[in-house]
Amino acid sequence: MKKTSINLIILFAVLCIFGCNKKENQSKTHPTSMENIQISEYGVTSKGDSIKKFTLTNKNGMKVEVINFGGIITSLTAPDKNGKYEDVVLGFTRPEDYFNGNSYYFGALIGRYGNRIANAKFTLEDKTYEVDKNDGPNSLHGGKEGFHTKFWNIEPVKDAKFPTLKLTYTSADGEEGFPGKLTTTVFYTLTDDDALEISYEAETDKPTVVNLTQHSYFNLSGNFTKTILDHELQINADKFLPVNETLIPTGEQKAVKGSPFDFTVSKPIGKDINADDDQLKKGKGYDHNWIPNGSGLRSIAKVYHPESGRVMEVLTDEPGVQFYSGNFLDGKFETKTGGKNELRTGFCLETQHFPDSPNQPSFPSTELKPGQKYQSKTIYKFSVKK
Ligand code: BGC
């Protein structure tokens, strides 16, 4: 072989190695995940905290907006059958309405204990704790000053594959009556297949109870003046938890078969909502925990809005999901698309452990001990059906 050909082969090999390395480096760092997070001023709370809005955008143009007050998702867009991305989560039009109460828990991170604790009391390792009683005799969503009212530290995650936010909040020992200093971390990731992935982590320095969830209300029509009764819902659950008058589970795990609670085959939310049924009366509609079949990260529910073609699938590793049909929406606030937030203009699918678990030994435990790590994951994935 001639010297020049040998030189050419060596040059080619060197270029190839350099090229391969470059490619490897590119897949290790993901500069685009940072470029796809915009930070802007959102508002100032009455305590003087300056609230920022973080906008995540994926390659399709889907956007999720999150604020560092309550970890609230203020906007989330999803495609319709014509490829149009529109906001599909309920929310206020004025920042101060999030800061001053947010009694609907619009878009918020919920903690320490999502859902209800009976009589706002529980016993852990022989000690009885009284937590904030903010819902009749019970405690709801971690108390009046739960995680939905807190200032969360938010950092974009540098080396993530997709735009990701890391939210942290440390809850002091005794906050809202709960024992132990609890350090909570939540990751919001917007993937390129139009999914919002939410990962929760928590650690404590004393035995405590934890049940974290996300309280976004969805209306897949993109028009918040319309009700969600025409949305078709499927929940992969053969059983649900009947409740008493104050929405505390009775302890029974009841088969859905033959009842208005049977969503094993997709049906419009409005189909049976006004049926003459004691449980529907107690909930003023659907406001119950279903027990999705199976365990581990699995698909537990699907919602389809026929007019727009929008589909939302919910995956979680949690044992329960609260399907709430917006029964307490009362038309007091203006929506982002005009009109008022009338009854049943949004629904929630809140993935979680069962309500009142600290008082119900037959339910999966919500106890967290020092040295243990609470971990849970939920995915809301959007697509279209034509
Ligand atoms: C509960 C409802 C409650 C609502 C507050 C839901 O998670 O199940 O009973 O009224 O949150 O917005």
Cβ neighbourhood burial of 124 (10 Å; 0-12, 13-18, 19+): middle
Residue identifier of the C-alpha nearest atom 5 of ligand 1: 104
The residue whose C-alpha atom lies closest to atom 6 belonging to ligand 1 is 324
- pLDDT, tens only, 1-25: 444 455 545 444 444 444 444 333 3
Give me the pLDDT at residue 111, please: 98
More confident residue, 245 or 25: 245
Q: Whose CA is nearest to atom 4 of ligand 1?
A: 104
Question: Ligand 1 centre from 228 Cα, in Å?
Answer: 16
By annotation, the residues acting in catalysis are 215, 350
The atom of ligand 1 lying closest to the CA of 247 is: 9
pLDDT tens digits along 315-359: 999 999 999 999 999 999 999 999 999 999 999 999 999 999 999
Q: Is the pLDDT of residue 172 over 70?
A: yes
Q: Ligand 1 centre and the CA of 324: distance in Å?
A: 7
| Average pLDDT score over residue span 92-106 | 96
The residue whose CB lies within 8 Å of the most ligand 1 atoms, and thus the one to mutate among 328, 344, 347, 350, is 328
Provide the pLDDT confidence category of residue 30 given band limits of 50, 70 and 90. low
Strand ranges, E, within 260-373 = 267-268, 287-291, 298-305, 310-316, 320-324, 348-352, 367-368
Per-residue pLDDT, averaged over 281-298, amounts to 98
- The pLDDT assigned to 23 comes to 39
Instruction: Give the Å distance between the CA of 180 and the centre of ligand 1.
Output: 25
Nearest alpha-carbon partner for 66 in 144, 143, 152: 152
Whether residue 204 is predicted with pLDDT greater than 90 in this model: the reply is yes
- Residue 114 CA: nearest ligand 1 atom is 7
Cα(252) to centroid(ligand 1), Å: 20
What's the Cα-to-Cα distance from 123 to each of 127, 178, 303, 305, 360, rounded to whole Å?
A: 5, 11, 38, 44, 11
Cα separation, 354 vs 352, in Å, equals: 6
Cα separation, 331 vs 258, in Å, equals 33
* Substitution candidate for ligand 1 out of 140, 289, 290 with most atoms within 8 A of CB: 140
Which percentage of the chain shows pLDDT scores above 70? 92
Give tens-digit pLDDT for 45-93. 998 999 999 999 999 999 999 999 999 999 999 999 999 999 999 999 9
